[in-house]
Copies of this chain bind each other. A is one copy, B any other.
Amino acid sequence: MKKILKAGQHVVGMDIGGTKMMAAVFDSDFNIVGVCKKKSKTKSRERSEDRIVKIIETAIEAAGSPKISGIGVGSPGPLDPDTGVIIDTPNLGWKNFPLAEMLRKRFGVPVVVDNDVNVGTYGEWCFGEISGCRHVVGIFPGTGIRGAVLIDKHLIRGSREVAGEIGHMTVEVGGPFCGCGKRGCLEAVASRIAISKEIAALAIREDAPFILEKCGTDLATIRSGVIAEAVAKGEKKVEDVVRRAAYYIGIAAGNLINILSPEVVVVGGGLVTAMPDLFMKEIRRGVADHAMPFLRKNVRILPATLGDNATVMGAAHMIATRIKSAPLKRKARAR
């Protein structure tokens, strides 16, 4: 990898999730030299400000308190990557939260904030198996489904700075209700919540005894890990639900291959981590059935390889690149 940071320089990569937060300090070779991970917990903005700052401080201490040259953050959106303002994050209770400005004031360094899936895909692209590809589609099915698109090695943002809402591609016209208010979105058919919903219905009909015993019929408790366990225990109808969801992600991936002709589609997130073989097999089947033969030829459909570290690594690389490209214009550009 080309050297971006000067010897001795350090940057922080931060991953803000709806359920957990993680900060990591990187040396100039992008080795992690200090880390701090905590539950997100609080829903008040003031307390989450303090919590974020504390997590970063703890990671810096764990790294032996080096001088920090910048902070990169991946956060749920929608957000404005130009200003680093989080527009709306229901899970964290943030509205128009100037995250970049807050961190810049607290730490006195340049800060870059981008959407978590953009940052995660970028991390995979910088450090993972897809490193160096020109055209990449990233799909991250979790509680919701978001995606990211790299064209000619650049993340696309579109006119509203928020391109990549792959989860809201309509895959079933008039289909199930989606959190966005529409119907039949990929997210309404294939997200963890969509899967849990079907599995809870199986449980209440006593068609998924393992789930019923472990989780009852509460959607909130039917998470990726327990779903994977049920599949491993031979709960056939649970497996069918997972297969169908993954197949639909394959349909969406096929659509994206037809439209964008990427070299690689990378799929990450909790569901894929919990059931990589089953999930990737069905995604590939969905692609095979729905991408044009001459377009899908040689396209690799890969699971993400960096796991939980993708976002902190992508965020660190983003701020490092920013510092390098505009050392004299820090304040203007790296807001």
Task: State the A residues within 8 Å of B (CB).
Answer: 78, 134-135, 147, 149, 151-152, 156-166, 168-173, 180-182, 248, 251, 254-256, 258-263, 289-290, 292-295, 297-299
Q: Which residue in B165, B248, B260 is a CB contact (below 8 Å) of A163?
A: B260
Contact A170 B171 (CB under 8 A): yes
Q: A156 — which chain B residues lie within 8 A by C-beta?
A: 151-152, 260
Q: Which residue in B135, B169, B290 is a CB contact (below 8 Å) of A258?
A: B169
Given contacts A157-B261, A262-B159, contact A255 B299 (CB under 8 A): no
Q: Which residue in B158, B160, B165, B260 is a CB contact (below 8 Å) of A297?
A: B160
CA A135 to CA B158, docked complex, whole Å? 6
Classify the interface of chain A: helix, strand, loop or mixed.
loop
CA A255 to CA B254, docked complex, whole Å? 13
Contact B151 A261 (CB under 8 A): no
Q: A289 — which chain B residues lie within 8 A by C-beta?
A: 182
Q: A149 — which chain B residues lie within 8 A by C-beta?
A: 259-260
CA A173 to CA B171, docked complex, whole Å? 7
Contact sample, A vs B, 8 pairs, CB 8 Å cutoff: A152-B156, A158-B262, A159-B261, A159-B263, A168-B258, A168-B292, A170-B290, A171-B173
Q: A258 — which chain B residues lie within 8 A by C-beta?
A: 165-166, 168-169
**Given A157-B261, A171-B173, list of 10 further CB < 8 A pairs?**
A158-B295, A159-B263, A162-B261, A162-B294, A168-B258, A170-B251, A181-B293, A182-B292, A255-B255, A256-B259
